Structure 1
């Protein structure tokens, strides 16, 4: 399973700003297309996994909200992933993700994921060096097994600059209705930005594969970023159908 190409955060270009009218029109179109595909996945019993990683305050929750806005709640599950519980720590680190995988025909969305092993657990030294080093191969094998069993796995990393993150965290701190999103860890993690950047670049290099490539999107322009994510989703859906079902990909 060869690499699908090396990605580096420094090479990710910002998206152009789009107008509010253009955003609303395009968003509506994409949401309808996503709904149509999800109905097809349900009929054909195809399980889909969307993985969202990214910097704190990059916009993961916002894009997930727009993706699911028009879907029947029975079609999908969203899994916001936090630190493992004491019970989960008694098992292999991948177990809690295996049991959250979608059933055939459903959509499983992971707001953070198994990549925590090679990100936060690596940077915060929550596991031994040999454990996170071997995790790259374990993760690639896991995603390959999913693909071999008919799963479609689409992975996104949402990128913003350190300055943009500061603005968004201060905005959350200022507005009462956004403050629930903010934690002490958000501020503390900024002190290790450089360490996280190294870990992210390693992750992109080592886990971008033919069966599950990374899509890295600059999210300084949130609305343009959401549109880009949904366009890539649909491209991935069409490619899957063309590969597995011939002309049904059209």
Structure 2
């Protein structure tokens, strides 16, 4: 996880990571780029890494935006015909869609193994994009407010 330390924002700054250090237990696992031993070891490494971040005073909020297969297909079909969105859709997206069950199993295990009291996952029902955006924003605001309250008490 060394490569992620260099990408972390400085104290007082804000950073957003998409998938980030979860690649080993998701994509690398499903695609066979990591051995079973490697991706199983990664759960411990992730938990230790995130505990260090929390220990240094970081606010860490983790989201899984969950859509169902029908919604994903609808979005893919929309992207396919919309010239303003077609760049977002690749053959790899279609190929990965065929592995839905493997990805679903991988993310369910990743969430179960890496959701801790200090770094819980928020599962966001994301078929409705507006709802998902509001949920994420409100959750981030609450996490920052909670951190500020903890610092006031010190």
TM-score w.r.t. length of structure 2: 0.96
Tell me the residue number matched to 2:126.
219
Question: Which 4+ residue blocks in structure 1 deviate beyond 6 angstroms?
Answer: none
Gaps spanning 5+ residues in structure 1: where?
Answer: 1-93
Counterpart of 1:195?
A: 102
Provide the C-alpha distance between the structure 2 equivalents of 1:121 and 1:100, rounded to a whole number of angstroms: 20
SS of 2:15's partner is: strand
Higher relative contact order at CA 8 Å, sep ≥6: structure 1 or structure 2?
1
List per-residue Cα deviations over 1:52-88 (Å, max 9, x = no partner). xxxxxxxxxxxxxxxxxxxxxxxxxxxxxxxxxxxxx
- Which secondary structure does the structure 1 equivalent of 2:7 belong to? coil
Q: Which residue of 1 aligns with 2:55?
A: 148
TM-score, normalised with respect to structure 1: 0.60
**CA displacement at 1:246 relative to structure 2:** 2.7
In structure 2, the gaps of 5 or more residues are none
How far apart, in 2, do the equivalents of 1:97 and 1:167 lie?
Answer: 34
- Cross-structure match for 1:139: 46
Q: How many residues align?
A: 154
Q: CA RMSD in A?
A: 1.2
Distance 1:246 1:170 in 2: 52
Q: Secondary structure at the match of 2:24?
A: helix
* Per-residue CA distance 1:145-189 (angstroms, 9 max, x = gap): 011111111111100000100000111111111011111111001
SS at match of 1:158: strand
SS of the residue aligned with 2:84? Answer: helix
